[in-house]
Every structure is written in C-alpha cells, then in structure tokens.
Structure 1
Amino acid sequence: MFLQHNVRGRVKVNKDASVRLQDNIVLEHYGLNELHLESVRHYREQFAKVKPNHPWNGLETKDFLYKIGAWGKIRNTSKEGLTLAGLLMFSEERMITEVLPQYFLEYREYDDDMLWSNRFTSQDGTWSGNIYDFYFKVMNELKDGSEAEKEAMHEALVNAIVHADYNGDGGIIVERQRSYVQFSNPGLFGIPLEQAFSGGVSHLRNPNVFKMFIYIHFCKRAGVGLKTIETICLQQPVIDQYDFQERTVITLPIVSFPERHKQDDDLEMICDWSDNLELADSINNDENSYNSDENSINSELESINKELESVNKESNCVNSGPNSVISENNSCNSDQNSINNLTNSVNNEEETNIDQELWSIAEIARKKKRLAPAKMEEVILQLCAHRPLMLKELAYLLDRTPDGLRNNYLGKLLAEGKMRLKYPEQLNHPRQAYITNK
C-alpha cells in the first residue's frame, strides 16, 4: 500500500532556512517562571516511566531541561534561558506568541450541518496552549478509532508537531470529519517526497522538539514517520503540499469511527484517552499553574531576566527590545481561591444542605454516562438555578470533563439565552460561574 501524494505548485525545499528561528536558540528573557508546571511534571513522569533507571531522573528541573534541550546557555557569557523548543513544549500560549506571533493550534469537528460540534484552540484560555499538551488533548478526542487507526493518527499528529514551521501562517490544525482526520501544518517537506516515503532520510525542522518526543518514546528515529503511517493504515492516506500557502496536509481515511453526531447519546462519550497518563485534569489545574498571581510568570522580583546588560542586544537575538517580556499582573490563569468547595464527599457532615441538594440533582448524570443531551441540559439548568456554579464544580457534580461540558452543553445553553455568565464582561474571570436565567 503506497501513500498517495499530490503536490500543488513547485515544491520549495527549506527556502526559509536562513531567516527562520531555529528551535535551539536561547531565549534569555524566558526562564523557569515561563514554564507551565503541570506540563513539565507530566513530561518528567513520562520520561521516568520509559527510562526508570536513567540518571537524569534525579536532576533538578533546570538541569533536566538542559539535558533534553529545553534549556540553553549562551557560550562565553553568563546568559541562559529556555530554548525555543522548550518554550513550545512547556510554556503557555501568551509567552509563546511573544516570540512566535503566528503560533496557533486548533482541533475541530463538524456535525452533519457543517457546524462546529467540538473545537478547542491554543487561544481559548482553558489550557496551557503548548504543543506537548496539545498532543494529549487531540489524542483524547481521537481515542475511539481502532488501535491501528489510533497509531496512524499518533504518527500523523507527531509528524505535524515536529515538522511544523512555527514562523509560518495558519498554525497546526487537526480536523475530524465522519470518514477522515486531516492534519495540517505550516511548512513544506525539506526533502523530496519520494525520499520521505522511502524512509531513513529526514530533514528536521525542529530537531530539539523531535528529540524531546523521542526521549519519551513518542517518536522513532528520524525519517520513518510517513512510512509508518503508510504501513499501518487500512486505506490509502493522502498527502498534499500547497506551495502557495506553504502548508502540508495529511489526510487519513478512517473506517471505524463510531457515529458521534447521528446519535445524541454519543455526545457523552468523552473520557480521557490516556487514563494512565493523568494529563487531562492537570492541563487546566489552576492551583498548580505558574500563572497564579503569587508566582507570576513575569514577576519582576523573581525574573531571571532583570539584568541590565542583555545578551539580546546581539544581532542574532530574538528578545531585543524593551518590551520583550510583558508583565501580566492579572493572569487569566490566576485562581488563588481555587475552586471546589464540593470536593468533599456528599456524606461529609460539613456539607451544606444546598450542596447535598445539588449532589442529589446531579445523581442521574453520574450514574448514566450516556445521558441524553436534553436531559443533561435539564440537569445543568436545575443545578445552576440554585446558585452560580463554576465549570469545575459542574464537572465534579456531573462526573464529566470540563471540556465536554463546555463544548457540548454550556456554550449551547448560553447561546440560547437559557443561562448567563456571572462575569459577562470578564470571560476569563478566575471565579467565572454559570447562572440559570429564570
């Protein structure tokens, strides 16, 4: 079985090599405070899982990041900081776009009416927005294919992430239709397609990012990704290169996806694809976020970057300029008063009567994982009629994922005017809650 490929226009091989930022460049104004704590923690857990006896497991955070290529030092100076690869893998969207303004990640699904039925982007403020977390969020949405198809989708997704030109336009887009999944990324192949198909030869646009995925066994050696996809796909995948847009698109025909939009009940089939990896809940963990006000990413008091003499005055530096690091005292991820006064059991004697009542109302949703959407909406409206409830409170009461509730129910109820936000003028308010309109 051969991978089909259609080349639109003349393929330009690595035309931007002289002007684009390499992923090993050191960003001296971006230090440990620019990291998303949960992403780093999870990566280290994955590393330790596949390399339990590796000496790097005992290193401090900065030393570990240096070993894997996420941290760098500028030779002959005392300057150091995150590499561009480290920023992409483990930082947050706000910081990444300071260096790469075109950076964008998106996953989307369409229903039978060609309307979005499920969508998230790196800009929606509900998760870190980095490429490491993006991998897990996307694979969680693609978990219901066959094992062979999931392996092919894994290869295609990693291929898009490690080969994307993050200086290019359009970002990485993963689009799921009923009969196929499409992976689109900025940047053309750096070698002729015939060589890419044959395997063994590769031109790595982001070698440090690739290396970090190899360390946790998410990649094999360079040059075998397309050949692997070709080998395991049940139907012929298609690869298109669009010269005028400088984009690469890989389309995987999928034969075993269940009907997700035809049957209402199927909208409830949202669970964590990587249960053993425990990332889904940690992506949006406000309590552990480096973006809390107390540990502000750009805190001038703690910044590694407050030296007056900056190496970034050099010609090759990305961070020159007085506004290279933007202070955000009101970080959207700040949540000192962390949610969930409901985390104790309903049987706890300290639970208030109102919380016991909420628990009882939501019982049907906890017991029935495939509750009809109309019934789920009814339960949500009943809950939020008692008092304003935050997303995480609703997720806990209903035993559903926050993303599933937001994408499948809350957005619809808000659009229909059946609910309203507690802070409509501040969408990312740390205490944002949902209220039923009476």
Structure 2
Amino acid sequence: MPKSIWGTISASANTEGGIIVLGAKERNDGTLEVVGLGDADRMLDDFWNAAHSTDKLSYYAMSDRDASIESTDGKDLILIEVPRADRRLRPIYVNGNPVTGTYRRDHKGDYRCASNEIQAMYRDASDESVDTRIHENLTVDDLYAETIGSYRRSCELHHSAHAWADLPDDEFLCRTGAAKVGSDGKVHPTSAGLLMFGEEWRIMAEFPHYFLDYRQELGTDERWQGRITSQDDSWSGNMFDFYWRVFNNMKQVINVPFKLDENSQRVDETEAHDALCEAIANCLTNADYNERRGVVFLWKEDGLHFSNPGGFLIGIKDAYIGGNSDSRNETMMKMFTLINIGEPAGGGIPDMVKKWTAAGYGRPVLSEQVNPERSSIFLPLESKENSDFCEWGQNASSTSLAHGDMSALLTVPNAQSSDNERVAFRLAIEQGRVTTAMLSESAGASKLTANRILRHLADIEVLTWRGRNKTDPSQ
C-alpha cells in the first residue's frame, strides 16, 4: 500500500473527488498500463483497516462500495472512488494534523494546503452563513442612504403591499438581515448589509481584499473599451450598485426579438436576461470576500465571464443538477430574491442553463480552480448549434466513458438521436456519469423512459454500466 495514497485521498476529498487505481502504472504518453496486484484481497483489507482509523484520516468519507477489486486481462486492480467531501466535513486531513496533513489537487497533482486555504475551508464548514457577522463598530447611519433607498424602491416595485414597506430604515434592514441588534442593544450592520449598502472605503476597512471589477474587452487595439471598479470614487462601490451597473452594461449583448405582451407593449427582456441576472447574483453571493483577487466580470468576444474567490460549496456536478441551495452568503442571496433576482431553492444554476440555451446561445459552463480557489461561470455568445459542434469535438475524444469504438460514440450527437439521448450524453460528459434519476429530471421524462434510454445507450456501447449487477439500485 503506497504511503502517498492518504494524501491523495485528502486531496481528492477536498477538491472534486476522483478515482485512485492501484495495480496500474502511467506511461509517458499519459495512458495506463495494467500491471496487476499480487494479493488484491489482502491489500484491500489493509486499506479499509487504515481508512477506518482517525489517526490516518480525519473523517471516513467513503462507503464500502467506493472501493472494489476489478479484473482486466486476468490481472487484479483496486479501484478506490473518493467522493467530494461535504463542505461541513472539510478539511479532510491525514495523520491527525490539519496544518501539515491537508491536501488539495490541481492540474499538477496533489499539493499541501497553505494556512489561508485551510482557514477558508473551516469558514465554509460553519452552519452559520459568513455574512451574518455583526459589525458593532458601525451603525446603520454609516451605510450609504442612496443605495438603501434604491433597494427599497425595488422591493416596493415587486411587493407593493408588503408589510415592510412603511418600516423605518433600521427596522427594514433588520428584517432583511442587513442589520442586527448587537450586544449593546443598538442596531448595527451585518456583513451582508455592509457589502450590499456600504461605501467602498468602509467595506475595505472590514474586508481588506474587497474588490469588484468589470471590463469590456472586445478587441486587441485597447486593453478594454469600458471598465467599472469598486475603487472608482465616482460611485458608492458597494455590491448592490455594482450589480445594476454591470447588468445594464452586459445586457446590451443580448438579442431582443420583437415581441408584444397582452397589452401590446414591447417586451424588452427575455429569458436570457433572467439567466444573466442569475449569473451575476450567483457570483456576488458565492464570493469569499476574505480572499484575494476579488470578483471579476469580463465581456469578451466569445461570451460573458464571471469569476469570484471561493469554490462552489456543493460542487459543480450537484450545481448543474440543482435542488440543493447552499450559498456562501445566504443573507445576501435572500436580499436579492426579495427583489426577484436569483433562485433560493437550489434551482438557480439549472434555471440559468435552461434559459440561456433556450434563447439560442451555447450551454453555460461552470468551472472551479484551486490554489487560489475560484469559481467561474461562462455564458457563451455563439449560437447553440455552433456550441454543440464545438463541445462534441472537444469532449468526445477525451471522455473516459466510451466502452465501444469512437464511431459508436459519435453516433449519439447527430440528427438521428432523440432529444433525450442527447440530454443523457451531455450529462455523462459534463458530470462523468448519468443515472436514471438525473436523466428523468433533466429531460422531463418518466423514470421508466429514462431507464430504457440508458439501457439502449449501454447496449450500443456508448455508455457503460457501473454497479454490482444490472439490478443494483446504486448502479
């Protein structure tokens, strides 16, 4: 049993998960050569004995079905599938020491985490949203009154008869979570209130790395054609005002077809506008404002790029599926949903993907990086048809899901394939697997139909079954 396996388990659990193969070696070209194990049963027993010990792993993050013996060409391999650890359990560390035993994984391999990464994982592990902290050195009078007024007018526009409409500012801010009563009995801003409604110089005093940056980069002649930053003293520099400035700039890229409502009035916003709102709000409310490099939004020729410090709390695969809301700044997300921006029930990302593609654009892409940790959303501006062609070409040759030859794999994304087969194939590429439940939800099909589709794709060797047998409920 190689000693390095425990650092790799820590790294995989603290990043996006992965599969460890024992009994194979990597060739110079990156492919694997099966060598086999002399006594796979004994090695698997040794693995589980150590894995159950807290002296080795801080948390036992795997189930019995995550490690198995597989035979290839008469040679035994051990496959260990390490799931991404729940953010409440991270950091997963080895040898009882989080300082020296916490690892993550990037494109270069496993690396030992620095103290700031470990601290960020502990912050994310808390059950209390980080933006609820009270700043007792400030009062609500230190917030920017014009932004508060703008937000309240937005609330009244969407909730004209709401009971909060006539409340004084301090009570209104307490109801939204932007302020709380402190230990001194007085009302003070929370982190959510300060970031949403404060002025940049006050925010910087509490969050030294706070920075919001928007750039329009559409050519090579100039560095940018337009820029908005929180450090420009011509405006407040807070998050709420930044949201509207960026949205009003970026929405210019969206094609608006001529359409009238029931009152014969021109409809100026489309589903693509809703998707843009979700992308902006998601990045702003998911950002870790204690980290460096700030929030960066770019309008480029290929599309709209959004990135923020801090990874996705639930992982990219689960974010695509939806149904599990877990925002880093829950109070700010609540404040946006009060004015009908964003989706609080975990459906924001799937809804964004659906609406952006329905408007004729390419499929949005979520990505995540570590060291430093950042999460990104990309809204492509090319047509859906061009995006599909590019995506199949890029991914089909590299996916590990194909069991048959490449010609069988490429029969899926063509005109003869059903829409549901296309959905299944796309899920498999994006998320590494597709289950009956996933396909049923994404395609809007019954579970019986979804199961029949997956069995057909397995029969023609486009997809491969994973499970103990064909009746395994966890296949």
TM-score, length-scaled by structure 1 = 0.54
Q: Distance in 2 between matches of 1:151 and 1:185?
A: 20
Q: Distance in 1 between matches of 2:199 and 2:163?
A: 28
Query: Which amino acid in the other structure matches residue 284 of structure 2?
Result: I
Per-residue Cα deviation, 1:376-423 (whole angstroms, up to 9, x for no partner): xxxxxxxxxxxxxxxxxxxxxxxxxxxxxxxxxxxxxxxxxxxxxxxx
Q: Distance in 2 between matches of 1:167 and 1:115?
A: 28
Q: Which residue of 1 is the match for residue 171 of structure 2?
A: 63
Alignment equivalent of 1:43, drawn from 151, 155, 168: 151
Task: Kindly indicate whether residue 379 of structure 2 is the aligned counterpart of residue 252 of structure 1.
Answer: yes
Query: Which amino acid in the other structure matches residue 289 of structure 2?
Result: Y
Q: Structure 2: where are the runs of 5+ without partners?
A: 1-11, 17-84, 91-119, 256-269, 384-475
Alignment equivalent of 1:102, drawn from 209, 216, 238: 209
Q: Distance in 2 between matches of 1:214 and 1:153?
A: 15
Task: Kindly indicate whether residue 281 of structure 2 is the aligned counterpart of residue 158 of structure 1.
Answer: yes
TM-score, length-scaled by structure 2 = 0.50
Query: Which amino acid in the other structure matches residue 201 of structure 1?
Result: N
Q: Distance in 2 between matches of 1:87 and 1:106?
A: 18
- SS in structure 2 at match of 1:57: coil
- SS in structure 2 at match of 1:23: helix
Alignment equivalent of 1:10, drawn from 12, 15, 22: 15
Task: Kindly indicate whether residue 310 of structure 2 is the aligned counterpart of residue 187 of structure 1.
Answer: yes
Task: Kindly indicate whether residue 229 of structure 2 is the aligned counterpart of residue 142 of structure 1.
Answer: no
Task: Kindly indicate whether residue 330 of structure 2 is the aligned counterpart of residue 203 of structure 1.
Answer: no
- SS in structure 1 at match of 2:226: strand
Query: Which amino acid in the other structure matches residue 364 of structure 2?
Result: P
Query: Which amino acid in the other structure matches residue 27 of structure 1?
Result: H
Q: CA deviation at 1:221?
A: 2.5
- SS in structure 2 at match of 1:63: helix
Per-residue Cα deviation, 1:96-155 (whole angstroms, up to 9, x for no partner): 010001110010011421521111100011111111001100011112213333222211
Larger RCO, structures 1/2 (Cα 8 Å, 6+ apart): 1
Task: Kindly indicate whether residue 239 of structure 2 is the aligned counterpart of residue 131 of structure 1.
Answer: yes
Q: Structure 1: where are the runs of 5+ without partners?
A: 1-6, 257-438
Alignment equivalent of 1:169, drawn from 289, 292, 295: 292
Does the 8 A contact of 1:156 with 1:229 survive in 2? yes
The 3 A distance-change label for structure 1 pair 13 and 131 is: farther
Q: Any residues of structure 2 matched to 1:329-344 within 5 Å, and which?
A: none
Task: Kindly indicate whether residue 352 of structure 2 is the aligned counterpart of residue 229 of structure 1.
Answer: yes
Task: Kindly indicate whether residue 190 of structure 2 is the aligned counterpart of residue 83 of structure 1.
Answer: yes
Does the 8 A contact of 1:237 with 1:251 survive in 2? yes
Q: CA deviation at 1:19?
A: 4.2
Q: CA deviation at 1:192?
A: 2.6
Aligned residues: 248
Q: Distance in 2 between matches of 1:126 and 1:162?
A: 24
Q: CA deviation at 1:174?
A: 0.6
Does the 8 A contact of 2:305 with 2:379 survive in 1? yes
Q: Distance in 1 between matches of 2:164 and 2:271?
A: 33
Q: Which residue of 1 is the match for residue 161 of structure 2?
A: 53
Q: Which residue of 2 is the match for residue 34 of structure 1?
A: 142
Q: CA deviation at 1:34?
A: 1.5
Identical pairs, percent: 33
- SS in structure 1 at match of 2:225: strand
Q: Distance in 1 between matches of 2:342 and 2:271?
A: 16
Q: CA deviation at 1:172?
A: 0.8
